[in-house]
């Protein structure tokens, strides 16, 4: 009887121990199932976002500056001495107005000589032409003039005429060069720089030196801004631009895109755009800094996701897509963004799901 009680107690202890061991082996499996990671290696349930194509409008603020619509550095075309400077820094000039005069006696002498040579060549050509004409009339009488003599006179008349034309061209060229001694304004504007004074020797070969004068157009200006290539693609001519000048805080100004360079700067990955600014009251000046604001319409072919869905590493930028129950890294490019969302493009399809909050350790 006592042996049966002892054996029963031993069986009870063994059963309790076996039950405890069995429970210890199944609890991790239950936890795994709860976490959603079956033995097949599928992903654990994480917060996801379904992809849909949608543009993300954004207000973009970029630096810009005003520049002259036209500006020119005036260098001497010929060597000479400055005899008169009729303008100074800040002078408003009109197109064709005389700015300064140079003196070059050797050019004046060369022009006079060219004129005299032309006059002599013209006289010789006239005499040769008259001789030929008389002989041609005489040749109408049979046997009066030999054909050889007539042809010789014709050749001399033609040669003298050609020489006359060459001397005339040379004289006109010298006249044109002499005209470079008078420096005139190529357009309406303001003199922004003056580097010469009467008596100075200026040289046409000294292009590496400072210009004699700087002329800038100020009643018509360009507002220049470099726009990132991803944003520039969504802008077109005539789009409205808002800007504020540092010189006039709080004063809102508007305009329209007038020109696009159609060239992306390889250093800054940006495209230059310009708008026309008219400055008839003279309050604006080239070089003024501007804060340029415009609405970027976004890319209608892009997907909009939370910014936390995009992982940026040292060598790539990607999202983690859920495909066939597995996590897959997909490289993307980003576009417009707000405080919480960002546009992405890449090898993705509408309706796919990506991890909403991803990092380098999210994917296995």
Starting from the edge strand earliest in sequence, which strands make up the sheet with 92-93, in order? 71-74, 213-216, 189-194, 92-93
Residue 25 has pLDDT above 80, yes or no: no
Give the tens place of pLDDT for each residue, 33-47: 333 344 444 445 788
Q: State percent of the chain over pLDDT 70.
A: 86
Structure tokens at 348: 């993705």
CA-based max dimension of the chain: 177
Give the tens place of pLDDT for each residue, 336-345: 888 899 989 9
* Domain assignments of the chain as residue spans, ordered by start: 1-35, 48-55+300-355, 60-69+217-296, 105-180
pLDDT of residue 80: 92
256 burial (CB, 10 Å; 0-12 / 13-18 / 19+) is exposed
Q: Which residues of 188-217 are buried (b: 16+ CB within 10 A; e: fewer)?
A: bbbbbebebeeeeebeeeeeeeebbbbbbb
Same fold across 48-55+300-355 and 60-69+217-296 = no
CATH-assigned architecture of domain 60-69+217-296:
Beta Barrel (2.40)
Bridge partners for 102 per DSSP: 82
pTM of the model: 0.66
Cβ distance 122 to 163 under 8 Å?
no
The span from the first CA to the last CA of the chain, in angstroms, equals 62
Starting from the edge strand earliest in sequence, which strands make up the sheet with 98-103, in order? 182-184, 98-103, 80-85, 201-202
Report the alpha-carbon distance of residue 354 to residue 364 in Å, rounded.
Answer: 15
Structure tokens at 75: 């260098």
Residues with Cβ within 8 Å of 287's Cβ and at least 6 positions away in sequence, in order, are 65, 66, 67
Q: How many CB atoms lie within 10 A of CB 315?
A: 5
Q: Say which range, 33-47, 62-76, 95-109, has the weakest mean pLDDT.
A: 33-47
In what helix (H) or strand (E) does residue 17 lie, and over which residues does it extend? helix 2-35
Give the tens place of pLDDT for each residue, 262-292: 888 888 889 999 999 999 888 999 999 999 9
Structure tokens at 47: 């917060």
In what helix (H) or strand (E) does residue 49 lie, and over which residues does it extend? strand 48-50
Residue 6 has pLDDT above 90, yes or no: no
pLDDT of residue 265: 84
pLDDT of residue 363: 64
Report the alpha-carbon distance of residue 296 to residue 215 in Å, rounded.
Answer: 36
Report the alpha-carbon distance of residue 184 to residue 100 in Å, rounded.
Answer: 7
DSSP assigned state of 309: G
pLDDT of residue 31: 32
Report the alpha-carbon distance of residue 132 to residue 197 in Å, rounded.
Answer: 57
CATH class of 48-55+300-355: mainly beta
Residue 145 has pLDDT above 70, yes or no: yes
Report the alpha-carbon distance of residue 358 to residue 95 in Å, rounded.
Answer: 64
Write the DSSP assignment of 67-82 as a string of letters. Answer: EESSEEEE--SS-EEE
Residue 72 has pLDDT above 90, yes or no: yes
Taking residues 250-269, what's their average pLDDT? Answer: 88
pLDDT of residue 208: 67
Residue 149 has pLDDT above 90, yes or no: no
Structure tokens at 21: 């061991």
56 burial (CB, 10 Å; 0-12 / 13-18 / 19+) is buried
Structure tokens at 238: 């005539």
Which of 237, 230, 227, 235 lies closest to 270, judged by CA? 227
């Amino acid at each position: 009887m006592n042996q049966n009680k002892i054996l029963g107690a031993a069986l009870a202890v063994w059963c309790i121990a076996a039950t405890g061991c069995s429970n210890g082996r199944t609890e991790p499996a239950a936890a795994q199932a709860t976490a959603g990671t079956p033995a097949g290696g599928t992903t654990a349930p994480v917060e996801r976002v379904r992809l849909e194509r949608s543009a993300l409008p954004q207000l973009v603020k970029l630096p810009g500056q005003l520049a002259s619509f036209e500006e020119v550095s005036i260098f001497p075309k010929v060597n000479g001495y400055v005899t008169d400077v009729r303008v100074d820094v800040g002078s408003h000039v009109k197109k064709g107005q005389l700015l300064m005069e140079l003196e070059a006696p050797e050019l004046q002498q060369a022009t006079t000589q060219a004129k005299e040579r032309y006059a002599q060549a013209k006289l010789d050509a006239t005499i040769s032409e008259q001789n030929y004409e008389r002989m041609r009339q005489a040749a109408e009488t049979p046997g009066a003039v030999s054909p050889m003599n007539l042809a010789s006179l014709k050749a001399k008349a033609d040669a003298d005429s050609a020489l006359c034309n060459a001397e005339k061209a040379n004289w006109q060229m010298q006249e044109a060069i002499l005209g470079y001694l008078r420096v005139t304004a190529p357009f309406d504007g303001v003199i922004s720089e003056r580097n010469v004074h009467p008596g100075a020797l200026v040289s046409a070969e000294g292009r590496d030196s400072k210009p004699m004068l700087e002329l800038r157009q100020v009643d018509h200006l360009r507002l220049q801004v470099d726009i990132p290539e991803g944003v520039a693609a969504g802008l077109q001519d005539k789009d409205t631009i808002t800007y504020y000048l540092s010189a006039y805080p709080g004063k809102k100004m508007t305009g329209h895109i007038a020109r696009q360079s159609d060239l992306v700067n390889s250093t800054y990955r940006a495209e230059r755009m310009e708008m026309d600014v008219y400055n008839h009251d003279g309050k604006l000046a080239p070089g003024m800094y501007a804060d340029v604001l415009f609405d970027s319409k976004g890319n209608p072919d892009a997907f909009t996701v939370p910014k936390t869905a995009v992982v940026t590493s040292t060598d790539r930028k990607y999202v983690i897509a859920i495909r066939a129950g597995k996590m897959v890294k997909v490289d993307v490019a980003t576009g417009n963004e707000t405080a919480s969302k960002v546009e992405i493009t890449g090898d993705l399809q509408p309706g796919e799901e990506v991890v909403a909050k991803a990092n380098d350790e999210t994917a296995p």
